[in-house]
């Protein structure tokens, strides 16, 4: 199996896990902290989808060898792959938002729950707030992105 097919399969698996956590587990548990896990799965799915496109183009020698840096890979994706496969700006905003959200979570010094919202504070006390409805929007956008990736490489 080619690397791009493995990345697509991993993206589908992550999105399936995120979907199950969002629509099955969260209503039973009602713990907003599960949103972090859901967000990580959605992020992984989006990144694996992007990687699938990058590996597909690399396989057919449309792009040069890639670095291990996620930000530079995203720039290559944005510059070379987005125009070729007609991804729209919403897809780029989605991936950037997810990357920033995961970075913010990693850098946050404090997290707390207030009225069904998770609030993360950075060391400079900038806050980021999100809830289950925001996560559901990210999930649906990521599902559309993964389906576009699948159409592009199959």
Within a domain: 119:
no
pTM of the model: 0.93
What angle (nearest 5°) sits at the alpha carbon of residue 143, between those of residues 130 and 21? 55
CA distances from 29 to 26, 33, 35, 115 (A): 5, 10, 11, 16
Residue 17: domain span: 3-87+132-153
State pLDDT tens for residues 79-121: 999 999 989 989 999 999 999 999 988 888 888 888 889 899 9
pLDDT at 19: 97
Within a domain: 139:
yes
Within a domain: 33:
yes
What is the number of structural domains in the chain?
A: 1
State pLDDT tens for residues 3-25: 999 999 999 999 999 999 999 99
């Amino acid at each position: 199996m080619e690397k791009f097919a493995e990345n697509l399969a991993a993206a589908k698996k992550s999105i399936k896990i995120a979907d199950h956590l969002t629509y099955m587990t969260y209503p039973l548990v009602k713990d907003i902290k599960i949103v972090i896990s859901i967000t990580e799965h959605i992020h992984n799915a989006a990144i694996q989808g992007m990687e699938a496109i990058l590996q597909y183009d690399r396989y057919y020698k449309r792009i040069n060898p890639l670095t291990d840096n996620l930000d530079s890979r995203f720039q290559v994706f944005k510059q070379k792959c987005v125009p070729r496969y007609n991804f729209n700006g919403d897809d780029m905003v989605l991936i950037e938002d997810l990357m920033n959200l995961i970075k913010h979570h990693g850098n946050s010094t404090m997290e707390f729950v207030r009225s069904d919202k998770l609030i993360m504070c950075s060391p400079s006390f900038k806050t980021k707030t999100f809830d289950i409805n925001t996560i559901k929007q990210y999930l649906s956008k990521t599902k559309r992105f993964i389906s576009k990736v699948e159409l592009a490489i199959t």
